[in-house]
A and B are shown apart, each in its own frame.
Chain A
C-alpha cells in the first residue's frame, strides 16, 4: 500500500505530539506568532517577565532589602529609576525581586492546585457513579466560597509562610481544575479507543494514564495559564492586607500594602508594583486566550 512519504504536519498536530521532536517548539512558536500576532505579543511579554524574575540577581541594580537612610522616599531619578521607599530601598530592585516571589508562589500553587484538581476530576469522571456524585457535590461546596476569602481564611489559620500561602492558594484552585478535566474525561471515556483498551484487558489505571490523561493536556495548559493570573491577584491581595509573605521579603502585594499604610502614599510606591501586577495578569490572560483558541479542536484553530 503506497504511503505519502512526506506528510505535512500541521501546527496543532505538532503540538499534540510534542515531546516527539523538541525541535518543533521553535517552529510552533513561529507559526503561532504568524497567525495570532496579538496573543504572541503578550506571550513574549510573559516570557520577558519570567526571564527577569529568574535573572533577578543579575538584572536588579541593587539589593532589595538593604536600607539607605540617606535617600528615603526619593522620587524616580537617574540613580533609582523607580525611586526609593521609606527605608531608602531601591523600588526597581524590590519590584524585580517581588515579581520573583509572586511568580514562584503563583506558579507552584497552580501546579499543585490545578494538578491535584485535574487528577481528582479525571478519576471522578472516569469512575462515574457514586464516586462522581459525591465528588461533584464536594466541589460545588468548595466553589461556593469565593477564592480570595477561602485563601484568606486558610492563610489566617495556617499562619503566613511561603509554604502555607502556596497551599492556601492551591486549595482554592482544586475545584476549577477538577471541573474542567472531569468534563473532558467524560467525553474521552466514551470514545472507541478507550473501549478498545478495555477490550484488550487494560486495567483501569492504564486506561487513565495512557488513554485519558494525554487527551486532557490542551485543556490543562489553558487552565494553568488562566489560573496563574488569578493566583497572582490572590497573592497580591493577601500581601496587601498583611496575610501574605511577611516583610522585608518583597512581593508586589506587600509593597502596595506598605505604601498604603502611610497617610500620604508617594505615587511611585503605588504605581510601579500596581503596574507590574496589571501587566503580568493581563499578559498571561491574553496569551492564554490565544492559546485556548489555538488548541480548541472545534475552532479548527492552529497554533
Chain B
C-alpha cells in the first residue's frame, strides 16, 4: 500500500509529463517445484519483489545492481517477456499485463530489447538481413519486396554497417558487428522503448564506446526511451538521466544520475559506488572503501524486514522487522531506508 503511495508521489512530482513506461508494484516470483508427475510448489524465488518505477519519454533510466539482484528479470517483465506475478506494467497508458497474447504481440512493434550476448542472440542459420527484416514481415511494415530490401539496407546503415552485409550469416561478423545487428533488429519496428540488457558488457572496451555512442545517437534521432541494465557503473553514469539501484529484487534508491553519484543516500548505493576504482592513485589510496560482508542472500528466502540488513554497515535492531518504503528524501531523490 505504501509502495502505491510512493508511485503516485513520484508521478505527482513531474505531473506535466506522462511516463511512457510505468511499473506499479511489479512482482515476478518464480515457483520452485518438486516432484515429476504431480509437481507441487515448495517455494518462490522472488526475482522482482514489489518494484514501482517509471520512465519518462526520451529519457534513459539506468538500472544497476549486483548479479542476482533481479535487474534482467525486471527488464524482461517490463516487456512482458516473463509474466509478472502481480502488479501493472503501464506502457503508454495501457496495462500490458491485461492484454491477450495476440494484442500483446501487436504492441511489441513499439518496444524492443538488445541482449547482452552478441553470439547467442542471433540465429546462426539466418542471414543478418532476414533477422533484421523479421519485424517488418511480422508487422507487415513493407509495401513491396524492393521496399523490404531497402528498409533492411537502411537499418544496416543506421547502425553503422553496410548494405552489402545483409546476406551474411552471424558467424561472419565480429562481436561488435553482431551487437549492431541486434540493435538494427530491435529498431526495425520503429519502437519507442528499448530495454538494453547489458548491451556492452560482452564487448571490448574500445567497441563498448562505439556502441554506446551509437545508442545515444539513435536515442536522439528516433526519440527513444531506454531502460539500460548494467553493472558497469561508469557506463551507466555516462548515458543515464536517472538511475535506479536494485538489491535482492527491490529498488532501494532512485535519483537523477548526478545526485546519485554525488550524494548517494542508501548505504547499499554508497557501498556500490565506493567499489568504482578511481583513476587517480593517491585518491584511490586515501579514500575510504565500504566493503560489504558476505554474499547477496538467496532470493528464495530473503531476510526479514529490510532485505539489506544482513550486510548493512549501519543496520540497527529495527531494520530486522520493519520493511522500509521508498520515500522522497531530497527533491527527486527516493530511497528506501528507515534511517534516512
Interface residues of A (CB under 8 A from B): 1, 3, 7, 13, 16-17, 133, 191-193, 195-203, 206, 210-211, 214-215
Contacts and interface: CB of A to CB of B under 8 A. Distances in A.
A11 to B, nearest CB: 13
Given A1-B160, A7-B172, A191-B120, A196 B113 contact: yes
Given A199-B112, A200-B108, A200-B135, A16 B125 contact: yes
Contacts of A1: 160-161, 174, 176-177
A283 B266 CA distance: 70
Contacts of A210: 123, 126, 134
Q: Please give me the 4 A-B residue pairs with the lowest Cβ-Cβ distance, nearest first.
A: A201-B108, A192-B121, A192-B120, A214-B125
B125 A215 contact: yes
A193 B121 contact: yes
Given A192-B115, A192-B117, A201 B106 contact: yes
B172 A200 contact: no
B182 interface: yes
B258 interface: no
B323 interface: no
B98 interface: no
Nearest to B105: A201
B81 A198 contact: yes
Contact of A200 (B174, B176, B189): B189
21 contacts: A1-B161, A7-B172, A16-B124, A17-B125, A133-B37, A193-B120, A195-B115, A196-B121, A198-B81, A199-B113, A200-B108, A200-B186, A200-B188, A201-B105, A201-B138, A202-B138, A203-B138, A206-B138, A210-B123, A214-B125, A215-B125
Interface string B97-111: 000000001111101
B106 A196 contact: no
Interface residues of B, number: 39
Given A191-B120, A193-B121, A200 B169 contact: no
B128 interface: no
Chain A interface helix/strand/loop/mixed: helix
Contacts, number: 79
B122 interface: yes
Interface string B175-195: 011000010011011000000
B79 interface: yes
A17 B127 CA distance: 10
Given A193-B123, A200-B109, 7 more contacts: A196-B185, A198-B81, A199-B108, A200-B135, A201-B108, A201-B139, A202-B105
A201 B120 CA distance: 19
Nearest to A4: B172
B120 A200 contact: no
Contact of B138 (A16, A192, A196, A200): A200
Contacts of B176: 1
A203 B105 contact: yes
A191 B81 CA distance: 13
A261 B117 CA distance: 66
A215 B120 CA distance: 13
